[in-house]
Amino acid sequence: MLMSTQANRYAHQLLAARAHAQQIPCLTKDAELSIADAYDIAKCIVDIRTAQGETPIGRKIGFTNRRIWPNYGEREPIKGPIWAYMYDDTVRYSENNQGVQSLQGAVQPRIEPEIVFKLGKTPKANATLDEMADCIEWMAHGFELVACPFPDWKFEAADAVAAFGLHGSLILGEPHMLSSATRRHLADILTAASVSLSYSEGEEFTLHSAGFGSNVLDSPVHALLNLHETLKTQPQFAPLAAGEIISTGTLTDAYPVKPGQTWTTAFSGLALPGMTLSFV
Dump pLDDT digits (tens) for 139-171: 999 999 999 999 999 999 999 999 999 999 999
Q: Quick check: 132 and 222 in contact, CB under 8 A?
A: no
Residue 32 pLDDT more than 70?
yes
Q: Averaged over 119-132, what is the pLDDT? A: 98
Q: Return the minimum-mean-pLDDT range out of 181-185, 199-203, 224-228.
A: 199-203
Q: Averaged over 21-35, what is the pLDDT? A: 94
> Which pTM was predicted?
0.96
Q: What is the pLDDT of residues 40-88, one digit of tens each?
A: 999 999 999 999 999 999 999 999 999 999 999 988 889 999 999 999 9
Domain ranges within the chain, ordered by starting residue: 4-279
Sign (positive/negative) of CA torsion 262, 18, 10, 48?
negative
What's the chain's average pLDDT?
A: 96
pLDDT higher for 51 or 203?
A: 51
Q: Averaged over 215-219, what is the pLDDT? A: 97
Tell me the CB-side half-sphere exposure of residue 143, using CA atoms within 13 A. Answer: 31
Tell me phi and psi for residue 259, to 5 degrees. Answer: -55, 145
The pairing of strands 56-62 and 245-250 is parallel
Q: How confident is the model at residue 1 (pLDDT cuts 50, 70, 90)?
A: low
Q: Averaged over 197-205, what is the pLDDT? A: 93
**What's the confidence (pLDDT) of residue 197?**
98
- Tell me the CATH number for domain 4-279: 3.90.850.10
Tell me the CB-side half-sphere exposure of residue 231, using CA atoms within 13 A. Answer: 23
Measured CA to CA, the distance from residue 197 to residue 241 in angstroms comes to: 32
Q: How confident is the model at residue 30 (pLDDT cuts 50, 70, 90)?
A: confident
**What's the confidence (pLDDT) of residue 74?**
85
Residue 31 pLDDT more than 90?
no
Beta bridge mates, 143: 113, 171
